[in-house]
Chains A and B, each alone.
Chain A
Amino acid sequence: MMIMINTTILSWVTFIYFVAFVCYFISAIRHTNLWGRVASVTVLVGLVAHTVGLIIRWVESYKMGIGHAPLSNFYESLIFFSWTIVLLYVVFEWRIKHRSLGVFVVPMAFLAMAFASLSPNINSRIQPLIPALQSNWLTSHVMTCFMGYAAFAIAFGLGCMYLLKSLDRNPAESSKSFLRYLPSSDSLDELIYQSVVLGFVFLSLGIITGSIWAHYAWGSYWSWDPKETWSLITWLIYAAMLHSRFVRGWRGKRMAVLAIIGFAAVIFTYLGVNYLPGLHSYLQS
């Protein structure tokens, strides 16, 4: 099998994200705007290259006569996951005008890419769609799910930032520490909430589109297959988290911890479940 141009581009993207992460890190430690700007430009370059790589992969699949959106196996899902994380991250950075989040979120995108490229068990070839995946609902299902996962990944990064920030004993002191560079606890709390809401809406859409697809493919919109069940578990955790905030007024540290627990459930839904038998285990390619 010849090496496809898209996989070459995508391995460069992996490297670019690593560089971006290093720049964010330096900028956070030294409080210099210059490094921050370099980091932002690098991550944008990475995102553009990533997008181009995905499009080329899409086009290549059509040239092979088995055209489909690059969302059909484990390799492609990791690449797409990474793409949604960076896309959402760029939107968040632009909206909150703060770069420290990059230290926590960009490495996740890098790790997903690196795992996809380097793991010997992951097949990066473009494969034809097996009959069960030949559905227009596949694209909407995978896209909404991964938008949700990415929003939860950002909430996770923010949750870690919040917990780190709360280590800062006397915030009034004007030292130039890394913790001082992070946004205020209040705005972190608000951002955690916003990203969880975004993730929750997308996860709900993902579950709904997935059910519609299952209705066509397997004859039942809900069959308690492990992946379905775990996405419901994740949904319930975040629903509980939102209610504890809406109605019981939980804020701050508890929300940060719940954002981390919720993301653990997301990761299990995405990766852990593949080691249980079920309809979705095609991802083990």
Chain B
Amino acid sequence: MKSFFSSVKLTLALLIVIALAAVLGTVIPQQEAADTFTSRLSPGMVSVFQKLQLFDIYHSVWFMILMGLLSINLIVCSLNRLPASWKLFRGKSVLDEYDVFRDLPPEQTIMSERTRSDEASRLEGILKKNYRRVERKEAQKGVFLTGEKGNASYLGVYVIHFSILVILTGMIVGFFFGFDAYVSVAEGQSVDTVELKGGKGFKKLDFAVRCDRFTVEYYEDGTPKAYRSELTFTRNGNTIHQGAVLVNHPATVEGVRFYQASYGTVPSGDALIVVRKGRDRTHVMRIGAGQEFDLPGKEGRAKIIRVEGNFMRMGPAVKMQIQSAKRDVQFWVFQNIDEMEAAHPGLKEQVPIFDPGLFNPYVFSLITIQPRHYTGLQVNRDPGVPIVIGGSFLLVSGFMFVFFYSHRRVWIGVAQEGAKTKISIAGRSNKDRVGLDREISRLIGEIRKTGS
């Protein structure tokens, strides 16, 4: 069992199978997109597909099992190998034989006029500048210096593998403790319940969101430049946050993020009306169907019952209701009332319900009907995000260790040869032979330059 989970063959097989499953998911329409696709399949096929969860592969049980197997594989494998890598990481070089200098290319030995001990301390200094760990040993044949760096590259793989587990953990946390929802809010409206994606019902938030205004800005050529929702978040009537949400600029309120996702117009729109009492008082207001307001002199309460873009083919109109202590009246306010009266003199008297001054001394007029927007907000909470970001950082730093860093050891032997001192330089690397060769020639250059 353990050998099954620690085998790299399993890793390769899982990586390929997961890749194939992912391909399948881009070929078969998933989730909502599957609805139109199923109508082209026979019912038998549909039920087979559904049993295999082929319409939601990335959330299917078998896909989760594959990811689980991958994680177990990763953990077992890493635990298996870690002790050996740890030894390599900690391990001191046991080689102190002159073996390492056998078959050395001629350019890796230098003859010097100085004494052995002079050279040894000079070279030790050079090594100390270039290596993290430098050792000096007096051997029979001469002084033996070791320079070492990059042991940490043995552990980079574990950082990478661990980071993948961290990322998967973050995704799981998001899956279980987060939610993914949508809500549309008309201008002026306030909502506190959002609809969970995938038909999973509704969720009530701890606060309400109100859309104060929604605007679209355009470039000169007519393509959209910015979608902007001005939102106010309230709890028990108190504002807890206020700000604009644009594409690429979400707002975060108590861990819940609001994203600009879509927009549209509410069918009826808002009426821009003027309220006049006699000569002196005028009032302009923007108001939608179903909304109410007090008359300026508090003689009654007005309500907009209907907002019509083109009522009875006579243009824009709103139907109002006014309730007061004395009476309760309903009438229409037409935007084009002057033209209508010119065409039909005496209209207001014949059809009192068309008289905008029916509730005297107040007279109402309709300036225009403005379209009212709603904004479509995506509402998410994902406590796994910081974990995923942390994992990504780890992944990238692991790459640095594994790919751009190698364990390098360099040995320098300093021995008496006749009247001269012979310096031999050899090196070893766990990978990146080319880089090591370059480093050795650089060292030799440095030794020659400072030696003359």
Is there a chain A Cβ closer than 8 Å to B242's Cβ? no
Is there a chain A Cβ closer than 8 Å to B275's Cβ? no
Interface string of B198-226 (1 = CB under 8 A from A): 00000000000000000000011101111
Q: Give chain B interface residues in 1-27, CB to chain A under 8 Å.
A: 8-9, 11-12, 15-16, 18-19, 22-23, 25-26
Interface string of A232-276 (1 = CB under 8 A from B): 110011011001100110000000000000000000000001001
Interface centre among A131, A190, A277 (most CB of B within 10 A): A131
Chain B residues with CB under 8 A of A233? 19, 22-23
Chain B residues with CB under 8 A of A132? 247-248
CA–CA, A73 and B378, complex, Å? 26
Interface string of A189-229 (1 = CB under 8 A from B): 01000000100010011001001100111111110101001
Chain A residues with CB under 8 A of B22? 229-230, 232-233, 236
Interface string of A50-68 (1 = CB under 8 A from B): 0000000000000001100
Interface string of B252-281 (1 = CB under 8 A from A): 000001011100000000000000000000
CA–CA, A232 and B259, complex, Å? 25
A131 touches B8 (CB 8 A): no
The closest CB in chain A to the CB of B260 belongs to A131
Chain A residues with CB under 8 A of B259? 217-219
CA–CA, A229 and B26, complex, Å? 7
Q: Size class of A's contact patch? A: 35 or more
A219 touches B380 (CB 8 A): yes
Is there a chain B Cβ closer than 8 Å to A284's Cβ? no
B17 CB to nearest chain A CB (Å): 10
B261 touches A276 (CB 8 A): no
Is there a chain A Cβ closer than 8 Å to B88's Cβ? no
CB < 8 Å neighbour of B248 from A135, A205, A229, A240: A135
CA–CA, A135 and B247, complex, Å? 9
Is there a chain B Cβ closer than 8 Å to A140's Cβ? no
Is there a chain B Cβ closer than 8 Å to A177's Cβ? no
Q: Which residues of B contact A (CB under 8 A)?
A: 8-9, 11-12, 15-16, 18-19, 22-23, 25-26, 30, 33, 58, 171, 180, 219-221, 223-227, 246-250, 257, 259-261, 378, 380, 382, 385, 388-389, 392, 395-396, 399, 403, 434
Q: Which residues of A contact B (CB under 8 A)?
A: 65-66, 127-128, 130-132, 134-135, 190, 197, 201, 204-205, 208, 211-212, 215-222, 224, 226, 229-230, 232-233, 236-237, 239-240, 243-244, 247-248, 273, 276-277
- 9 interchain pairs, CB-CB under 8 A: A65-B220, A128-B225, A131-B247, A201-B396, A201-B403, A208-B395, A216-B249, A217-B247, A236-B15
